[in-house]
Amino acid sequence: MNNTTNNRYSVILGNLGNTCDRFLSSGYKEALPKNEMVRQAAAIPGIEGIELVGSWDIREDNVAEVAGLLQEHRLTCVSIIPDLFSQKRWGNGSFGAKDPEIRAQALEETRSVARIAQSMGCPLINLWLGQDGYDYPLTADYRRQRTDLMEGIRVVASEFPDLRFALEYKPKEPRTHSFQARAADTLLMAIETGLENVGVCIDVGHSLMAGENVAESAVLLQHHGKKLFHMHFNDNYRTWDDDMIVGSLHTVEYFELLFWLRESGYAGWYSMDQYPYREDGAAAVSESVAFLQSVEKLLTPQRFEELRELIAKGDATASTRWMRTLMFDRA
Amino acid sequence: MNNTTNNRYSVILGNLGNTCDRFLSSGYKEALPKNEMVRQAAAIPGIEGIELVGSWDIREDNVAEVAGLLQEHRLTCVSIIPDLFSQKRWGNGSFGAKDPEIRAQALEETRSVARIAQSMGCPLINLWLGQDGYDYPLTADYRRQRTDLMEGIRVVASEFPDLRFALEYKPKEPRTHSFQARAADTLLMAIETGLENVGVCIDVGHSLMAGENVAESAVLLQHHGKKLFHMHFNDNYRTWDDDMIVGSLHTVEYFELLFWLRESGYAGWYSMDQYPYREDGAAAVSESVAFLQSVEKLLTPQRFEELRELIAKGDATASTRWMRTLMFDRA
Amino acid sequence: MNNTTNNRYSVILGNLGNTCDRFLSSGYKEALPKNEMVRQAAAIPGIEGIELVGSWDIREDNVAEVAGLLQEHRLTCVSIIPDLFSQKRWGNGSFGAKDPEIRAQALEETRSVARIAQSMGCPLINLWLGQDGYDYPLTADYRRQRTDLMEGIRVVASEFPDLRFALEYKPKEPRTHSFQARAADTLLMAIETGLENVGVCIDVGHSLMAGENVAESAVLLQHHGKKLFHMHFNDNYRTWDDDMIVGSLHTVEYFELLFWLRESGYAGWYSMDQYPYREDGAAAVSESVAFLQSVEKLLTPQRFEELRELIAKGDATASTRWMRTLMFDRA
Amino acid sequence: MNNTTNNRYSVILGNLGNTCDRFLSSGYKEALPKNEMVRQAAAIPGIEGIELVGSWDIREDNVAEVAGLLQEHRLTCVSIIPDLFSQKRWGNGSFGAKDPEIRAQALEETRSVARIAQSMGCPLINLWLGQDGYDYPLTADYRRQRTDLMEGIRVVASEFPDLRFALEYKPKEPRTHSFQARAADTLLMAIETGLENVGVCIDVGHSLMAGENVAESAVLLQHHGKKLFHMHFNDNYRTWDDDMIVGSLHTVEYFELLFWLRESGYAGWYSMDQYPYREDGAAAVSESVAFLQSVEKLLTPQRFEELRELIAKGDATASTRWMRTLMFDRA
């Protein structure tokens, strides 16, 4: 357990752009050109990496251009997220769709993104299969569709053994139920592929929304073969994916999470994933990174040792007092 | 308590059109021309009324055209919903915005819709103030903004005493917190205006999402001066506004709700308000009406009397047995 | 708005005793004698007041003894909570029971507690009507039982105009639905009595569990005639009344709540109400008071002014940064 | 897939007795003698089996007596649930306690129950480890305690290879977080033991409370090596373990669940697990069995085929119409 390494922070590029919802589909702000978004991202203190979304940000026809843009701003491409959710054809799913033709297209789309990743030296494909799920009782085949989903991932991940594939779970939205809904069921699917290069991505907001203790989910994934491949950060009120500024609501929980990420040997990026609908995007992301850096700074080797002792002891009053003193009463 | 009157069913016109969410902003289906949507609505068995949304469906410049279209299909205009949520200017609220200029615009927009309603003989303005709320701690002035909101409604409702204004509450979305969040707080605001023509609209899904027992909320509103002015119907999993087909999930609760709506003297429309993202709109709305009609048909005078006795007795096993027998074991 | 007055802290006596749940009905700890509980309460730094529960802690036959005990430890009796929930006869409700005989007993029990309060100089009766609600659909008469409930409160409160009656709401437990479930519906009932001396008690955990923003609920109650009569403090995970140490989970929310309590002129006690099942009771309560005192200390006049400006501005990033800096990065 | 076998119904004996909660620890009803409870259970139409709780119902010193009682009423002992939750010593956990002495006692207690099961010919031990979890952040060692828990189960299950051990998960209560919280994480633990005779028990209410689609969880468990060993039935409002009469709230969901239990080859008992706090126990359990039998009866081979087609098609409107017609409009 090395607890002195510095965390590396990144951001999903789209966080800097316009954001819409179903009531205001044109978005709450104005769209920015891609190079301006990259410039703003690079200017955020602490940000060293970028996540791109396929088709929105990057396609086979603009790889050189985007790669150049990132290089110019000394940004690493941390992951690419295939667009398997924002087109009409994916409306009823991608890898887990009932239509075999759609499943074939999902495979093709992911292969394309994987090739892009290889060509850019990007080591991770982050799969968020938001449309793969169901809405109503008596409409989904939980056996068949789950198996199809797993098979699709197995096929593409086995074709690109030099890339890692992180499965990002979320209990609902846009479907009322996702097939990859929680940490443990998604881990089961990753294990079922039998492949070393398939793991899980925790989006903190998705985990809160699923009723999980995020730190416990991280430990669970690491316990089963270091399967925590990636982390997305944001905050919410625990009932929905509000995609708010990191630490705007959960403080103790974030403190515990950052302790356990290090304690369990998580070595990936700390990536921001927000929807600053009504906020200045760069400012909101900047504040998120600042929150995580504040916590990181307070997690000194001595406090790390104190936390280990508190956890071993398990005295709720003592742990609460320690945290309160740190936040509100420290010298 | 007249329990023999027939219910009157209506639908929000947009239910027949395209529907989008934040991930697929172009929508899951193709948009339909307005006259085709009206035609489809009129063809749904049981539908006699239509609700229109300002700016989307109706503006001062197309009143005659739309009125003609409805007349042609023998549809009544049941209510108009001012568009105080789908434009960038409302992003931080309408009647409760911090910016006085925006509050003035909200007033003007609602007056315009009220004039349209008068000219069409439509008796109800349904106010869903979805953007009036807040997202983060320490960003909203709960006293000032709530008072501004109430004042705006008081001004416009007092200018149009021949129209009724129904306040449609919802706990969250698009904000993480709405000012008009639940039945009782919205009723308090309606009462605070001191106006006879201000009441409340229950959207069943919003009420479920707020953790309410919908039937109890209806009774509460009726108890305080017959303030239940309007009803929107749909269904969901209780954690989010899934806007599903009526009765696709809640059966007992719907049975109880329809009993109490009649028992408490609700005399308004039974209006469908769904988001059939991936379904055929007309079919989904049609099924919703059919569900409500099925329940209505089973609520015979004799069963009505039986229910009164069950409720007076309060024996959980007896009530459950009655409902189970009706659904699964009736002769 | 006086923002320099010191808060006054109290505790419900039972917090120091044994606590059970439905699986371990003998309790997780050993019971303590009453005088030991009082001694421990008095020893908690900051505690000046005590809340007593009728029948558990105080009855007409032990008033002098208990009053003497409190006096000995210089503790004020802040409120008495009639026992309308922990006896078999209340199993189906008290003031709102269907059985008129039970309603009469509830009245009698509350009169007895009111006389005790008068004799001890205790100014507040806190009514938590936990058994008044329902469990199943089609078993409750929402009109009749709610009216009976209100009438019972009206009768007893009008008989004791020198006492204040605070209605403590809670969405569920021990019933699946309480009649006094949320701030606004309980306020409506207080208003319906037409009595100055009937108001509302916010239990922070009950409010969180109801999906409320506690600060907003406090402001709502104060806005409608200063109806926030009392406050109970604890913490939970928002889905259940976990009755945990104050501030063990919610920090930003508590900070905002304490700001608004003062800003809205709340002048009552800050009373601890926890269930330290597995913790040392005195230590757990002590930590709760320390948390509130820490926040109180940080709410200096200057920070108070800064918060007013942040709230007026409503910039989520700025508010979040202010809070983060205070907690984790202050000089 | 055999879809003609009849379901076998059983009940946990304690369902017929007194039930308490933390506010009314003496219980809402009167306690019944054990032989009266057994007599009542045997009289419920459809009930053929009984589940017993260790120490409450059965101990090494009364095995012969209890076995005789069951035999007299022709009841099969379906499972025994070791009492690892209702004594002070288990207050901080059993197999996952931090104290090694307590872990040793948990092992001993379970061995004792396993021997009883063997002597009675009871094939299943149902492990509900309700106290194994944690309440506060920074108090639990998610790695160490989870591993200890798994090890304890592995040890005892390997010692009794002729018995099956079903792990019953629940997200919270009595702890704010259980280690065995959801279907997938509990399945992971069962798999981790590497033993054929360790599987999972779904309590329908626990699964609903965890935000799961129960049918999907059942399929998941069956998909991974037929690991669904046992089923507990009850109902709730999805936020808490209300332990209500089966089908009193969820109808469509229960219909789908019973379809999938058969479709996925579940061959275990259908066991009632309720807390009829204020109801007559025998009547409430009887109604639960009647609900399940009603659904079973309607699931004819023809309807079974229709459901397979609906699920394959995945048309939400068609599935909803089918269900509505069956419940409310069938000939």
| Structure confidence by residue, pLDDT tens digits, B127-179 | 999 999 999 999 999 999 999 999 999 999 999 999 999 999 999 999 999 99
Contact D22 C20 (CB under 8 A): yes
User: Could you tell me which of B45, B56, B59, B60 has the C-alpha nearest to residue B13?
Assistant: B56
Chain C closest-CA separation from residue B312 CA (Å): 7
Any domain includes B331: no
Any domain includes C145: yes
- Examine the domain organization and report whether C186 and C331 are in the same domain: no
C279 contacts in A (CB within 8 Å)? 315-317
Query: Which pair of structure tokens corresponds to residue D187?
Result: 């399945």
Any domain includes A21: yes
Paired with D9 in beta bridges are D47, D270
**What 3-state class would DSSP assign to B313?**
helix
B321 contacts in D (CB within 8 Å)? 287, 290
Give the per-residue pLDDT at B266.
Answer: 98
Q: What is the CATH number of the domain that holds A109?
A: 3.20.20.150
Contact A316 C278 (CB under 8 A): yes
Mean pLDDT, rounded, of chain D: 96
- Examine the domain organization and report whether A309 and A245 are in the same domain: no
- Examine the domain organization and report whether C242 and C120 are in the same domain: yes
Give the per-residue pLDDT at A329.
Answer: 86
* Mean pLDDT on C101-125: 98
- Examine the domain organization and report whether D136 and D184 are in the same domain: yes
CB atoms within 10 A of CB C196: 12
* Contact of A223 with D146, CB cutoff 8 Å: yes
Contact D239 C239 (CB under 8 A): yes
Question: Does residue C132 carry a pLDDT above 50?
Answer: yes
Question: Does residue D229 carry a pLDDT above 70?
Answer: yes
- Examine the domain organization and report whether C133 and C255 are in the same domain: yes
* Mean pLDDT on A35-63: 96
Q: Which chain C residue has the Cα nearest residue A295?
A: C328
Paired with A231 in beta bridges are A202, A270
Any domain includes C3: no
Give the per-residue pLDDT at D5.
Answer: 61
* Mean pLDDT on A44-60: 96
- Examine the domain organization and report whether C158 and C254 are in the same domain: yes
- Examine the domain organization and report whether D260 and D313 are in the same domain: no
Give the per-residue pLDDT at D304.
Answer: 97
Give the per-residue pLDDT at B2.
Answer: 43
- Domains of chain C: total: 2
* Mean pLDDT on D117-124: 97
Question: Does residue A136 carry a pLDDT above 70?
Answer: yes
Distance CA D115, CA C65 (A): 54
Any domain includes D2: no
Query: Which pair of structure tokens corresponds to residue A249?
Result: 């609501």
Question: Does residue D331 carry a pLDDT above 80?
Answer: no
End-to-end CA distance of chain C: 29
Question: Any idea what the Cα angle at residue B104 is, between residues B103 and B105, rounded to 5°?
Answer: 90
Model-level ipTM above the cut of 0.85: yes
Distance CA B82, CA B51 (A): 11
User: Could you tell me which of D229, D238, D247 has the C-alpha nearest to residue D289?
Assistant: D247
CA torsion sign for D110, D113, D119, D125 is: negative
User: Could you tell me which of B34, B130, B152 has the C-alpha nearest to residue B81?
Assistant: B130
B253 contacts in C (CB within 8 Å)? 137
Chains in touch with C (≥3 Cβ pairs < 8 A): A, B, D
pLDDT tens digits, residue range A90-100? 999 999 999 99
Question: Does residue D247 carry a pLDDT above 50?
Answer: yes
B29 contacts in A (CB within 8 Å)? 88
Contact C290 A238 (CB under 8 A): no
Question: Does residue B3 carry a pLDDT above 60?
Answer: no
Among A27, A29, A91, beta carbon nearest to B28: A91
pLDDT tens digits, residue range D136-161? 999 999 999 999 999 999 999 999 99
DSSP D165-219: EEEE--SSSSSSEESS-SHHHHHHHHHHHT-TTEEEEEEHHHHHHTT--HHHHHH
* Mean pLDDT on C255-284: 98
pLDDT tens digits, residue range C290-319? 999 999 999 999 999 999 999 999 999 999
Query: What residues contact residue B188 under an 8 Å CB cut-off, 6+ apart?
Result: C184, C187, C188, C220, C224
Whole-prediction pTM: 0.97
Question: Does residue C190 carry a pLDDT above 60?
Answer: yes
B25 contacts in A (CB within 8 Å)? 20, 25, 86
**What 3-state class would DSSP assign to C235?**
strand
pLDDT tens digits, residue range D173-194? 999 999 999 999 999 999 999 9
C314 contacts in B (CB within 8 Å)? 92, 98, 134, 139-141
End-to-end CA distance of chain A: 29
Binned at pLDDT 50, 70 and 90, residue C330 comes out as: confident
* Contact of B53 with B83, CB cutoff 8 Å: yes
Write the burial class of residue B121 (CB in 10 Å: 0-12 exposed, 13-18 middle, 19+ buried): exposed
Give the per-residue pLDDT at C329.
Answer: 86
Give the per-residue pLDDT at B192.
Answer: 98
Binned at pLDDT 50, 70 and 90, residue A2 comes out as: very low
Binned at pLDDT 50, 70 and 90, residue B207 comes out as: very high
Mean pLDDT, rounded, of chain B: 96
- Examine the domain organization and report whether C313 and C252 are in the same domain: no
Select the more confidently predicted residue: D3 or A34: A34
- Examine the domain organization and report whether A306 and A316 are in the same domain: yes
Question: Does residue C5 carry a pLDDT above 70?
Answer: no
Query: Which pair of structure tokens corresponds to residue D67?
Result: 């076995």
C27 contacts in D (CB within 8 Å)? 88
A253 contacts in D (CB within 8 Å)? 137
* Contact of D273 with D126, CB cutoff 8 Å: no
Contact C211 B211 (CB under 8 A): yes
Chain B closest-CA separation from residue D237 CA (Å): 9
- Examine the domain organization and report whether D240 and D321 are in the same domain: no
Question: Does residue A260 carry a pLDDT above 70?
Answer: yes
pLDDT tens digits, residue range C66-110? 999 999 999 999 999 999 999 999 999 999 999 999 999 999 999
Mean pLDDT, rounded, of chain C: 96
Give the per-residue pLDDT at D311.
Answer: 98
Secondary structure tally for chain B: helices H, strands E? 11, 10
Tell me the percentage of chain B whose pLDDT exceeds 90.
97
* Mean pLDDT on A4-27: 92
Chain C closest-CA separation from residue A289 CA (Å): 11
Distance CA D130, CA C21 (A): 12
Among B88, B240, B245, beta carbon nearest to A240: B240
Contact D249 B252 (CB under 8 A): yes
pLDDT tens digits, residue range B283-321? 999 999 999 999 999 999 999 999 999 999 999 999 999
Binned at pLDDT 50, 70 and 90, residue D330 comes out as: confident
Any domain includes B329: no
Any domain includes C221: yes
DSSP B201-221: EEEHHHHHHTT--HHHHHHHH
Binned at pLDDT 50, 70 and 90, residue D3 comes out as: very low
Give the per-residue pLDDT at B68.
Answer: 97
Contact C280 A317 (CB under 8 A): yes
Element (H, E) at B12: strand B9-12
Contact D216 A142 (CB under 8 A): yes
- Examine the domain organization and report whether D198 and D290 are in the same domain: yes
Binned at pLDDT 50, 70 and 90, residue A3 comes out as: very low
Query: Which pair of structure tokens corresponds to residue D278?
Result: 């204020």
pLDDT tens digits, residue range C217-269? 999 999 999 999 999 999 999 999 999 999 999 999 999 999 999 999 999 99
Contact A316 C245 (CB under 8 A): yes
* Contact of A307 with A68, CB cutoff 8 Å: no
CA distances from D132 to C280, D100, D149, D168, D239 (A): 20, 14, 8, 12, 20
Give the per-residue pLDDT at D1.
Answer: 41
Any domain includes A4: no
Query: What residues contact residue B30 under an 8 Å CB cut-off, 6+ apart?
Result: B18
Binned at pLDDT 50, 70 and 90, residue D329 comes out as: confident
User: Could you tell me which of D49, D44, D88, D93 has the C-alpha nearest to residue D70?
Assistant: D49
Tell me the percentage of chain C whose pLDDT exceeds 70.
98
Give the per-residue pLDDT at A5.
Answer: 62
- Examine the domain organization and report whether D173 and D212 are in the same domain: yes
* Mean pLDDT on A24-37: 94
Chain C closest-CA separation from residue A283 CA (Å): 7
Give the per-residue pLDDT at D2.
Answer: 43
Contact B278 D316 (CB under 8 A): yes
Question: Does residue B268 carry a pLDDT above 70?
Answer: yes
Contact A280 C320 (CB under 8 A): no
Question: Does residue B4 carry a pLDDT above 80?
Answer: no
CA torsion sign for D73, D76, D78, D81 is: positive
Chain A closest-CA separation from residue C321 CA (Å): 6
A21 contacts in B (CB within 8 Å)? 21-22, 173-174
Contact A210 D211 (CB under 8 A): yes
- Residue C307 lies in domain: 300-331
